[in-house]
Amino acid sequence: MTSMSLKKGANRKSAYDLKNPLNEQIETHTLAVLVDNEAGVLARVIGLFSGRGYNIDSLTVAETDAEGHRSRITIVTTGTAGVIEQIKAQLALIIPVYKVNDLTVEGASVEREMALLKVAGKGEKRVEAMRLADIFRANVVDSTLESFVFEITGTPEKIEAFTDLMRPLGLVDTARTGVAALARGLA
Amino acid sequence: MSAELTGAEIVIEALKEQGVDTVFGYPGGAVLPIYDMLFQQNKIRHILVRHEQGATHAAEGYARSTGKPGVVLVTSGPGATNAVTGMTDALMDSIPMVVLSGQVPTFMIGNDAFQEADTVGITRPCSKHNWLVKDTETLAETIHQAFHIATSGRPGPVLVDIPKDVQFASAPYKTRAKSPTGHYNPRVKGDLDEITRAVEAFERAERPVIYSGGGVINSGVASSQMLRELVAATNAPITSTLMGLGAYPASGENWLGMLGMHGTEEANLAMHDCDFMLCVGARFDDRITGRTDAFSPGSFKVHIDIDPSSINKIIHVDVPIIGDVGHVLEDFLKVWKARGRKTNAPAIKKWWGQINEWRARNCLNFRNSDKLIKPQHALQRLEALTKGMDRYITTEVGQHQMWAAQYLGFENPNRFMTSGGLGTMGYGLPASIGVQVAHPESLVINIAGDASFLMNMQEMGTAVQFNLPVKQFILNNERLGMVRQWQQLLHGERYSHSWSESLPDFVKLAEAFGAKGILVDDPADLDEAIKEMLAYDGPVIMDCVVEKHENCFPMIPSGKAHNEMIFADGETEGAIDAEGKTRV
């Protein structure tokens, strides 16, 4: 393997990187996938991503139309423009998939994520955590004398910023829901 | 029909309604109720294979040679897992196939019951779709939907997993007409604006080439006719992938031979130098393109494909047309005729001058021998002695497969069955059985290598049991020929485990199965041996002992472009660089 001249951007850990010799820009897209809520449908979607070497940054799924047995899967994924197009085309091939919407390119959309953060601390650190939570409009959903659980809703960037601030203040655990997204307006 | 049927009866009824005349299968505990119903009827013929992989490849041979879906019936657990290779093969080559598998009863699922496997989980990535039927009420509609999905759009394998209690329970039978098809309804008509753009570019083209693939054959015989009409009317040169052989006749004037890794020089250079490429039902597979960033650098590319995910997957095209090849070609011809049947005839004539120069180099030439049988020569003699016969060819995978594609001529679609995408050794013998079942009066020959043949040789038992006179034409080099060739070219002639030290005596093997065996190792006896094989009314294993170290040329080394081929008499030392080595 040592004498092999590996393409730029490739590494020894990942064979998939060899697929993309062109130094194309990596984009992040939010996809909304409407599916029949039948057994195994999530496994089909996830299997597509793992089988073809695509990335999943976040994924949320729940039934959104109980009568019609439809679920909505929101996937945040990264890849070159060509890979994103492939992901959409491959998703559309899955039989229980009704519709694939790329919220990143199909007009404006809103994205929200919820996170729970457990922060342990005493004294000044505890006060500071409380103060920052207020600025970020995070709610306290559980409290002991030595800990808080904050609930925060917002874009993934906002949640990351809040998480970064909590880290030195005694962040113990984080749970994130992943992104839910909808197109703005009547689109 | 309001009377209730058992699940097993529903299976048989649904198969009958779908027009199924043949099922390839193997019984076992979890499908016994269905086998019991098979026993009590005589409309559907069951071909008992010797291994479930054989059933899937036989179904592929049946499907590929008839255009109808192949049907497979297997039991739970190992029955289903043995079907996985054939399903993956069918998925890669877009072969319509319906696999029915037994499953442990619903109340035992998840308990690691005897012969339990997560069949829908295992076959999810190797099927177009699959279902676990938990209720007899939905069994009929699921089977009807399975046929719909397997055969429409880009065809492929589907699997219906049927627990044993669902086979015993009763429910009313739902006819095909009353079964919901779901929202799956792939588009067959191409966009007219795109087709017009393609025609405009075609009219101006100075150096056009048509590159056709398996999609033309899947689309039906009429599509091959339209392709032929297009070629004849425009005088465009045409080449094809392995899967597309026969759509345009090998004897046709505009035929360049197969393209790709072991394609002809004229086909590959025409692809490289063309200024207009019409890709019809092919998918720019890596065996075709070679190095993608050097693939046909100066051409305007049009891609007709029924699968939207094939578009721009590997090669960026200028005009994508999503639709069924037959519908799109029909519209393409209509538009082209309506616009006055224009072509750039003088330029195309000049282009042919160039192509004929390449052709004259006769890249398939090889040094023949009067001492040893050259595999290419054996195939040339087979071709000569079977010319004009009602002939179907299957192959295994390896050097012999490429030689078959190079040296046999395919005049019609559905006559060449081979494992293209997956490259499954062991495909050819069971596939030949499936073809022979569908065409009992025709000549069916499997071109095999000694190593591939051994992978599913148990199916000789099937051939003998059902009086299927399949001819197994083994080009025996006592090697894993293609592996050996790559080791010679890429790995310093270190032949790691690419030879068979204890091959069976193929004549005795044939006789042990109750078939006929013929051995030939002298070029002088070759014709007589082939005639003897053809004349025998029953299955034959022909052990054709050939030159052991023959290489398959021309060859585009991995990681190289179409204009960087290596030839039989060329220098092969260092032909493949380190980067090429990492590829397959």
| Three-state SS sequence of B129-177 | EEEECCCHHHHHHHHHHHHHHHHCCCCCEEEEEEEHHHHHCEEECCCCC
**Residue A7 near chain B (CB below 8 Å):** yes
pLDDT tens-place string over residues A45-88? 999 999 999 999 999 999 999 999 999 999 999 999 999 999 99
Residue B447 in this model has a pLDDT that exceeds 50: yes
Question: pLDDT band for position A23 (50/70/90)?
Answer: low
Q: Which of B9, B52, B265, B330 is catalytic?
A: B52
Instruction: Report the greatest alpha carbon distance in chain A.
Output: 60
Q: Are A119 and A170 in contact (CB under 8 A)?
A: yes
Q: Are B159 and B124 in contact (CB under 8 A)?
A: no
Cross-chain residue pair A39–B184, CB shorter than 8 Å: no
pLDDT tens-place string over residues A35-45? 999 999 999 99
What pLDDT sits at residue B2? 62
Q: Where are the beta strands (DSSP E) in B293-450?
A: 300-305, 319-322, 391-395, 416-417, 443-449
Q: Are B27 and B8 in contact (CB under 8 A)?
A: no
What pLDDT sits at residue B90? 98
Residue B572 in this model has a pLDDT that exceeds 90: no
Count Cβ–Cβ pairs < 8 Å, chain A vs chain B.
45
- Partners of B309 on chain A (C-beta within 8 Å) are 86, 89-90, 92-93
Average pLDDT on A20-48 reads: 89
Average pLDDT on B244-255 reads: 98
Cross-chain residue pair A18–B307, CB shorter than 8 Å: no
pLDDT tens-place string over residues B456-494? 999 999 999 999 999 999 999 999 999 999 999 989 999
Least CA distance to A52: which residue of chain B? B125
Mutate to test the interface with A, among B582, B583, B584 (most CBs of A within 10 A): B582
Question: pLDDT band for position B573 (50/70/90)?
Answer: low
Average pLDDT on B210-217 reads: 98
- Partners of A89 on chain B (C-beta within 8 Å) are 308-309, 311, 313
The rounded distance, in Å, linking the Cα atoms of A135 and A129 is 10
Mutate to test the interface with B, among A14, A95, A97 (most CBs of B within 10 A): A95
What pLDDT sits at residue B3? 84
Using alpha carbons only, give the angle A92, A95, A96 rounded to the nearest 5 degrees: 95
Residue A164 in this model has a pLDDT that exceeds 70: yes
DSSP conformation letters of A45-65: HHHHHHHTT---SEEEEEEEE
> Nearest C-alpha of chain B: how many angstroms from A133?
44
Which of these, B59, B58, B22, lies nearest to B42 by C-alpha position?
B22
**Residue whose pair of structure tokens reads 């590959």 in the numeric block:** B268
Least CA distance to B125: which residue of chain A? A47
Question: pLDDT band for position A125 (50/70/90)?
Answer: very high
Residue B453 in this model has a pLDDT that exceeds 90: yes
DSSP conformation letters of B382-399: HHHHHTTS-EEEEE-SSH
Question: pLDDT band for position B571 (50/70/90)?
Answer: low
Question: pLDDT band for position B574 (50/70/90)?
Answer: low
Known active-site residue B506: no
| % of chain B at pLDDT higher than 90 | 94
Average pLDDT on B408-428 reads: 98
